[in-house]
Amino acid sequence: MDDSKWVMLSTTQFKDPTTTLIISILAGSLGIDRFMIGDTGLGIGKLLTCGGFGIWAIIDWFMIQKATREKNMEKIQQLIY
Amino acid sequence: MKLDRNKLYAFLFIVCLAGYFWLYFNITKTAVDHSTMGVCMIKYGTNMPCPSCGSTRSIVSLIEGNFVEALKINPLGLIVAAIMLFTPLWIVVDLIRKKNSLFDFYKKSEGYLKKPRYAFPLVFLVLINWVWNIVKGL
């Protein structure tokens, strides 16, 4: 990886899993946690279904941190390769 | 969890199926005691409705033939109804033709809706709907 990529990498905005977890707990039914990590489609789905009847909102409490890290990883891989 | 075509279709199918069960449950419940079952966490916690509160009631009203009533209860219900109607059909068509048209449409829409000039008006509409819900006392 050359230095120019390093500069791009160090200025990339990553999402903090702790922040998305807090958002998920507070406003998960509105889909805001999914919107934050870029999952617009899933976010709309959550919003339209009131957090998937509440069930999806609860499931995402446990899944959102891993999903955030995966999205961050995708960003890194796009830059490096 | 990379969202590929099959995962998306399986997920959408399960969600639509759950939606139909939910709808059936609430239609039969409405016939008995004229109310639907509430599942909104926000309403449970803060006593205030969320933007999509009332969508079940809206769809139930739509099925009974009251389009205007459905719109007045919650316009989002109509969007949900359209999605519940067309998504399973589209999935089946794609599976038969071995194409990805729904997946491609989903990905393209995501790209569009993320853009601020589409996102801001939509967010604004959702907020207006939310305020309307609160005013209506849903």
Q: Over 80: is that where the pLDDT of A81 sits?
A: no
Q: Counting beta carbons within 10 angstroms of the beta carbon of residue B120, is it exposed (0 to 12), middle (13 to 18) or buried (19 or more)?
A: exposed
* Residue count (chain A): 81
Q: Do the Cβ atoms of A52 and B15 come within 8 Å?
A: yes
Interval A16-49: pLDDT, tens: 999 999 999 999 989 999 999 999 999 999 999 9
What is the maximum alpha-carbon separation in chain B? Answer: 47
Q: Over 70: is that where the pLDDT of A65 sits?
A: yes
Q: Do the Cβ atoms of B79 and A40 come within 8 Å?
A: no
Contacting residues of B for A45, CB less than 8 Å apart: 15
User: Are B40 and B65 spatial neighbours (Cβ–Cβ below 8 Å)?
Assistant: no
**pLDDT the model gives residue A80:** 82
Contacting residues of B for A28, CB less than 8 Å apart: 41
Q: Over 90: is that where the pLDDT of B59 sits?
A: yes
Q: Over 70: is that where the pLDDT of B1 sits?
A: no
Measured between CA atoms, how close is B97 to chain A, in angstroms? Answer: 24
Q: Over 80: is that where the pLDDT of B94 sits?
A: yes
Helix axes A40-48, B101-114, angle to 10 degrees: 90
The pTM assigned to this predicted structure is: 0.88
Q: Does A53 touch chain B (CB under 8 A)?
A: yes
